[in-house]
Structure formats: C-alpha cells, structure tokens
Amino acid sequence: MSMSFSERVARLNDILCTVNVLRWDARVVMPAGGALSRGHQIATLQGLARDMLVDPAMADAAEEARLSARDDTARAAAEAVLHARAWHLKIPETLLRQQAETSVIAGQAWAKARAEGDFATFRPYLEEVVALARKMAEAIGHDGHPYDPMVQIYEPGETAASLSALFETLRAGIKPILDKALSRPAPRSDFLYRDYPVEAQKALCAELAALLGLDMERSRLDTAVHPFEISFTRQDVRITSRWDRNYLPMSVFGTMHETGHALYEQGVDKALTRTAHTTDLIGLYAVGGSSFGMHESQSRLFENHIGRSPAFWSHHFGKLRDHFPEQLSDVSEQEFVAAINRVEPGLIRVEADELTYDLHIMLRVRIEMALMDGSLAVDDVPQAWNAAMRDDLGIDVPNDGLGCLQDIHWSSGYIGSFPTYTIGNITAAQLMARFDTIHPDLRGAADAGDLKPLREALAEAVWRHGRSKDRHELLAAIGADANDCEPYIAYLRGKFGLTCHG
C-alpha cells in the first residue's frame, strides 16, 4: 500500500528535525574534530530529504491532496510541496551536498578565526560559501540581481531592489532620531560592565525566559558562541545564549531574543506538527515560522518592546538585583532602564541599540549584494566592512573578530538572511501598533506585568498558523501593510523622544 501525502511529509519532517538535532549539537557540544564527519552526516540526511521531496510519487500524492483538500490550510500544504519540488529540481543534488558539508566545516573555521581576529584563515571558506551561493542563484534563475534568489529563500517576495528602497526610506527616518539622541548626555552605564559571574547569569536568564512565557518542559537553555534557537517540533525547542562576564546585557537580551523565537515555535498549532506547515521545504529545514522576517519580529518584540521597557523592569528589577546584589547595590531601577536603552554606536550588531541596529544590517546587506554580483571580492570584505563602519557609525574597527567575523551567518551559508532582521524590527512595530487598536487592553496588561494577553494575541495572529500563511497574509489579516515602515519609525520617534518629523 502506498504512503499517503501526510505520511510522506511527516517522514521528511522527521529527517529534517534530526538534522536540527545534529546542528544543535555541532554548535553547542560537538568537539571541533567532529566537523568534517558532521558535515557528511547532515549532507546525507538533507540529500535523503531532497530525494523524498522530488520523488515522482510525492508529486502524485501532493497533486491528489491538492485536488481533494477540504480547506485552505490543506490546499496550501500540497501547493507548498509542489512548489518546493519544482524549485529543487532546478538545483543539482551535488550543490546541496556541497553547501551542507561546507556549512559545518566553515562554521568551525569561523569560530577559530573569530577568536583569533584573523580574517585570512576564514577567507578560503568564505570564498567557497560565496561561490556556492552564486551557483545556487544561477541554478534557480532570476530576472534582476543574483541576490534575489538567495534572499527569497528566507523572505519570499523580497528582492535586492525592494530591500534597497525599503532601507533608503528607513535610513531617512532613523537619521534625525539618531542625531537627536546622540545630542543628549549619555546616561550612566558603568555598572553594566562589572563582574557578573556566569552561573548567576545562567540562573537569571532561565528565570527571564520562563517569565516571558517559555514552557521549560519543552525547552532548555544552553551555551553557544553565537546565540540561536532551533526546534525539533514544537515539543522540543532549544535556545542558547552566551555569557560575557563583563557585560551583562549580552546574556539578558540575547536570551530574551531567542525566547521570542522559541515562543513562536512552541505556539504553532499542534495539528501542524510533522506537516508541510512546519517544514521549510526550500531550505530543507524544520521550522514552524512563516519566514525569517516574521520569526525575527517575535524575537525583537520580546527583546525590545517588552524586555527593554520600563514597565517590565518595574516588576523584575528586584529579581535582577537579587542575583547580583553587590554589582547593582548602587544602581536604581531608573538608571538601569536608561542604561539598557542608551544610544551608543558600537562595533557589535547583537549589542547594538535600537537606533543603530538597522545600520549594522544595512552594512551587511550591501556587502552581501556586492559579493553576489562580483563587485566586491572576498579578499576585500574587511576593508569594505571597516570603511562602512566609519561612514555609517563613526567607528574604527580594531580587528576582524570585532568586525566582519562577528556573525556566524556567512559560515553557515545564510547569504540573504540578514535583511530579515530589519524586516523583523518593522514587523514587530506593525504588530504592536495594530494590537493597540484591536486589543486596546493588551498594553495595559503588559505594563501591569501580565504578558499572557500579548502571548494569546500573538498566538492567534501569528504563531498558530506555522508556515500555512506568509508574512504579508498574516499582517493583512490584522489590517497591517507588510511594506509600511512608518509604524516602526513612529515607535522609534516615541521611544527616543523625537516629536517632530524633521
């Protein structure tokens, strides 16, 4: 008896969840010497998943499911498989294997190069990553920029042209707010750089994740060089953070960020488990979020709209000081809130304030586009990066570890994913602005320390749908326009005290 469509997709999802387990292990506990073998293992499993997807029997089962679908969700699942199958038939299997193997090996090389601040040791691996990305773009095909097929893996519908236009509008909106903020005296922040023991940070961050609503029966918090979230179905969603003993916000807001991702995964409707709506069939990745940008909207919402709000710390600053009584003995709640919201151009994206964060993203996207169209050689990345940091943020980069080597994304082959962070910022503001209208009591409840109404609103509007609706559809359903960055600019104006538009 032949397998049904749902059985075929469930088995494919099982394989990709297993790949996620191997990726989690590679980033958290695997010894460096295991990189080559792990690359082979992941490549083999992803190859099996691809074989299952492009199997003519899968196409027959999907077409039958499409024709017999009883609702839009079932029909969308079948159409997603058919679309992904056509996409993968354009890509040589050897190319996918090369990418999978390279991502693990390059990841190990990146970690070493980053620690040593030496781009030269990572350069040949980045050259391979870029070469493979160009081959991928060529195989997929495009009518515009070779960056287009890559960004659409992570954010369907976006192109180099659409992103450039969006970023131009956003940059124009941010600049006067940033100029105004930098004209004010900087708040006190010395206490953020005191000695914060790692074990106490871990205990605090576990509590914060639970306070935000993470179900720790279905999650765990671990350590990684670059914080990330990953799921093996909604029943097992892992988060990681990193612990800088002399900079407390790194772990606190890194954990809140990853918790936002994890809440999304845990909130997917149970009925979508092991279906096409919890499987990225293009990227061959088990994930429940509709796109990287929508996923980032959840992490940035909990990190910034909630985690950096005065209201949140009015309820939880005492808990923070209980964990670090000596370090914070001379610090008031108001001083802490001012410090974590200070505007201060810096070297590191994940430590950036809300006004300079998107400038970090725009820098990376410009470099990615130039690498893809060949106008920038890999060898010249550090120089281009350092020049952009001076021009955009007025900062000199002391070494490559604090510059172009700071992010894991390129080593993982994720060229095209960086724009989704800014899309996430824009989308988070859109969601909160619309909730103010359709859920008028929600913000008051959050200010009073009750985040359950916010989680319920997000679950209804976003989380439960998994990948069954795209970002544009999810936002349109609550009356928001995915291409409108004005709610985000308005949020930044309000937060940083710019009352005029000039």
Catalytic residue numbers, as ranges: 258
**Phi and psi (nearest 5°) for 347?**
-80, -35
Which one-letter DSSP state was computed for residue 155? Answer: S
The span from the first CA to the last CA of the chain, in angstroms, equals 69
Structure tokens at 385: 């990066």
At residue 6's C-alpha, the angle toward residues 3 and 11, to 5°, is 75
Structure tokens at 404: 């172009």
Q: Binding site for Zn(2+): residue ranges?
A: 257, 261, 296
| Pick from 476, 467, 382: nearest CA to 156 | 467
For 361, other C-beta atoms within 10 Å of its C-beta total: 21
Question: Helix axis angle, 93-116 relative to 35-54, nearest 10°?
Answer: 150
> What 3-state DSSP class applies to 279?
strand
In a 10 Å sphere around its CB, with 0-12 CB exposed, 13-18 middle and 19+ buried, how is residue 107 labelled? buried
> What 3-state DSSP class applies to 442?
helix
For 30, other C-beta atoms within 10 Å of its C-beta total: 17
Q: Are 38 and 29 in contact (CB under 8 A)?
A: no
Q: Are 165 and 177 in contact (CB under 8 A)?
A: no
Find tokens 């320390």 and name the residue: 449
| Pick from 476, 477, 250, 236: nearest CA to 347 | 250
Q: Binding site: residue ranges?
A: 257, 261, 296
Helix, strand, coil: what percent of the chain each, to 5?
65, 5, 30
**Phi and psi (nearest 5°) for 242?**
-130, 155
The Cα 130–Cα 370 span in angstroms is 11
The Cα 241–Cα 244 span in angstroms is 10
The C-alpha R_g of the chain, in whole angstroms, comes to 22
